């Protein structure tokens, strides 16, 4: 994912941290750029030299958050290999995302708040910008799984692809369901249960 190109400037990190909190707590529409600038001590002139508006700042933060998640996925690949069982890959990604949630809480809270924007114009606009790369990444994963014989062959490939892609792209929704859980191991246990359901279903065998 390509970050928005901006020149580094004094208080840049403070701006990002303050903006992450503002967007996470209030959502995109209600977040106040004036409040962000006031709390960082950055003048409007300095801000508008580096960003066109609030939306561009928001997109920049999303790009950074998605880049972190992409790195976590690549970590899962490197640790298990491209041809590993896709469900093992899901489990490894779950573990990495939990680490992400605990170690990058500001970015994670921001990602959760963005997921809640679904249905709003800003969500559609941003996702349309990132969609081609996201689709490319997950199609690659699914094709590898299909070629390795991991997936069932009695279900149409497009149904499998849509189902797995939905699961991959909505993992954060699952974590949000148990967001009040502070125990990392317990949270991982819930994740593994969801992956087990995805792999073997809910019915007794």
**Could you tell me the pTM of the whole model?**
0.75
Q: Where are the domains of the chain?
A: 62-200
Give the pLDDT confidence of 165-174 residue by residue, as tens digits.
Answer: 777 666 666 6
Give the pLDDT confidence of 99-133 residue by residue, as tens digits.
Answer: 877 788 888 888 878 888 888 999 888 888 887 87
Higher pLDDT, 11 or 7: 11
**Maximum mean pLDDT: which of 7-21, 38-52, 68-82:** 38-52
pLDDT(138) > 80: no
b/e code 114-150 from CB counts within 10 Å (16+ = b): beebeeeebeeebeeeeeeebeebbeebbebbbeeeb
């Amino acid at each position: 994912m390509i970050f928005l190109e901006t020149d580094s400037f004094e208080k840049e990190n403070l701006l990002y941290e303050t903006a992450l909190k503002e967007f996470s707590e209030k959502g995109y529409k209600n977040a106040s750029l004036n409040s962000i600038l006031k709390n960082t001590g950055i003048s409007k002139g300095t801000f508008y030299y580096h960003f066109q508006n609030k939306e561009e700042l928001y997109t920049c933060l999303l790009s950074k958050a998605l880049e972190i998640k992409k790195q976590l996925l690549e970590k899962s690949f490197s640790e298990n290999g491209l041809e590993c069982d896709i469900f093992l890959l899901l489990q490894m990604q779950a573990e990495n995302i939990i680490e992400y949630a605990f170690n990058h809480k500001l970015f994670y809270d921001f990602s959760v708040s963005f997921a809640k924007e679904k249905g709003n114009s800003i969500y559609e606009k941003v996702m349309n910008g990132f969609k081609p790369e996201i689709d490319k990444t997950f199609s690659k994963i699914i094709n590898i799984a299909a070629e390795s014989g991991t997936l069932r062959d009695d279900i149409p490939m497009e149904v499998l692809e849509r189902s797995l892609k939905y699961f991959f792209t909505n993992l954060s929704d699952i974590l949000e369901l148990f967001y009040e859980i502070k125990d990392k191991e317990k949270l991982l246990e819930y994740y593994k249960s969801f992956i087990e359901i995805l792999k073997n279903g809910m019915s007794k065998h």
